[in-house]
Amino acid sequence: MSKVVSHSFFTEFDINLFKGGKHFRLYNKLGSHLTEVDGVKGTYFAVWAPSAKSVSVIGDFNYWTAGEHELNVRWDSSGIWEGFIPGVDKGTKYKYKIHSNNNDIWTEKADPFARFCEQPPQTASLVWEDNHKWKDDTWMDTREAKNGLDRPYSVYEVHLGSWKKKNGWESLSYLELAEQLADYVEEMGFTHVEFMPVMEYPYDPSWGYQITGYFAPTSRFGKPEDFKVLVDALHQRGVGVILDWVPSHFPEDAHGLGFFDGSHLYEHPDRRRGYHPDWKSLIFNYGRNEVRAFLISNAIFWLDQYHVDGLRVDAVASMLYLDYSREDGEWEPNMYGNNENLEAMSFLREMNQEVYASFKGIQTIAEESTAFTGVTKPVHYGGLGFGMKWMMGWMHDTLEFFKKDPIHRSYDLNMISFSLTYAFTENFMLPFSHDEVVYGKQSLLYRMPGDEWQRFANLRLLFGYMFTHPGGNLLFMGGEFGQSSEWNFQESLDWHLTQYDFHSGIQEVIKDLNKMYKTNPALYEKQFNPDGFQWIEYNDQENTVISYIRKGNDPKDDLIIVCNFTPVPRENYRLGVPKTSTLKLVFNSDDKKYSGSGMGKKTMKPSKTSWNGYKQSVLMNLPPLGVVVYK
């Protein structure tokens, strides 16, 4: 048998789909695949390199010698090189040595479709397959009911490498996380975890946002099947899994996608549209059919092969605007003379349409920081088709308000109420993400003013306000126990802090808020619907207090929320209420079990005193820097 045997996984239909940018399962065709030809076991290789003069597979099996195993170019002008190499087995390290027609350039590249990669700083691809037996049938069968927009979304954002360390410095493996992280998330009551990028990346300080192996879970923490065990373990505990996905840019590392076959294959050839000045990285060519097929196939790959429940799409704003982070003269308007990237918009719409059509019960979430309209509107209504969008304006205004000394907050109460003027223009998720606890911004705890008691009371108030504001919510790891230092990707979270009452009190607050969120339909059934929210009082500047009602489908589920943003207790605070029935306390951020003062009434019977536009009212005792929730 010759060194490379002519063999193909592609049909004529596959090639037509690929050329048209409509093949969204390319991972079944391109890349390396263990197979058998004429009774001989080996590996089939296929790679897209239309500018190549020749493509060789180099690896352990041929001492990394170019020309030993040259692939065959297809006759159909698809630019695909392919062939079967006998005897190449699972675990074999390899790359593609590409000789380009473009100025006789040579490149040496990792496989864009590799399922497993060498651990950085090594850069080879590995021939791989696994036979993980999924045990999450119950979750997958009921996911559509659990993962809808009218269900709770309390997301715990995790950086796998720094959540917890062993031996003081070593990150936990996927298998260790499958036990420890899954147990912890279940105990804390989060509905979902969101992993910062798990796809293979070469540079640790990028936190995973500079990807070179789009189809491979990073080998830092174990094998691909080990990551499946982690997803499986979370599903078995009823916890959904969201992955950060980065179709916005990729690094220029020599073994990556950049200048792949001696041409601008994956990146846009115009530097004004193909290079990101902020991140020193390359931008995909969203107008090229084969590139769109690559990216949409990648989104589908994680939903298909890894049972993932959602994708949080990173840096959407940078994709939507041609002038993003560029000065005049550094960008070119589109055909209509404005700054919108029409090709990127088209790509995002097609991606969302395809993933929602292909998988029941999944969601896509846009990290989009501008006022671009229609991010979460359906594509057929002219929107981008995302399920949710991060509410960056709310996050910014809320943190700016909370860092103020309470004596000055009365003048800026509109910073808290303003979000409700646009809260239902999109399906918003409220994020306190990793970006808010790095680069000198300080931890959430240390952004709070006052002495130690006031810092923790403010943080409990912040979380209570967050969980009762319309929308889903997301909290970066460490925030749930009041991490005091900024996040450092090289170090573990400060778990030792949980031995102290104030910190363990924050943990208990998050547990109880998650329980309240999941067991009170008023907080989630209409979280993206203006019918689910009603102000009682949004401008009590004298007391620096706001109050509002959250509503579900059944009026008996309605909740009344009152927030006191000062350290001054408000005794006999009169509040108008819509009903004459007795109010029962559901949550009090000042409860003694959280290390609060314990102020507040368990029950209240309204009197026939008109107030706030209602015919009846109650006299409340509002705790200092506290939020109370009544049903």
For 524, phi then psi, to 5°, come to: -135, -25
314 is catalytic: yes
Nearest to 316 by CA among 358, 353, 345, 354: 345
89 is catalytic: no
Beta carbons within 10 angstroms of residue 318's beta carbon = 20
Peptide bond into 406 cis (omega under 30): no
Inter-residue contact 83 to 72 (CB < 8 Å): yes
Query: Three-class SS of residue 229?
Result: helix
Tokens found for residue 17: 């789909």
Q: For residue 44, what are the contacts with CB-CB under 8 A and spacing of at least 6?
A: 7, 9, 32, 33, 35, 37, 82, 83, 84, 85
β pairing state of 626-630 and 199-200: unpaired
Inter-residue contact 225 to 189 (CB < 8 Å): no
Nearest to 589 by CA among 463, 470, 504: 463
The beta-strand segments (E) located in 551-609 are 559-564, 570-577, 583-588, 603-604
The beta-strand segments (E) located in 391-450 are 428-432
Could you give the count of Cα atoms lying within 13 Å of 215 in the half-sphere of its Cβ? 29
Of the listed 244, 314, 343, 525, which one is catalytic? 314
For 221, phi then psi, to 5°, come to: -115, 5
Beta carbons within 10 angstroms of residue 36's beta carbon = 11
Beta carbons within 10 angstroms of residue 52's beta carbon = 27
Of the listed 244, 267, 343, 367, which one is catalytic? 367
The beta-strand segments (E) located in 332-409 are 363-366, 388-390
End-to-end CA gap in the chain: 77
Location of structure tokens 């917890």: 164
**What are residue 408's DSSP bridge partners?**
none
Query: Which active-site residues does the annotation give?
Result: 314, 367
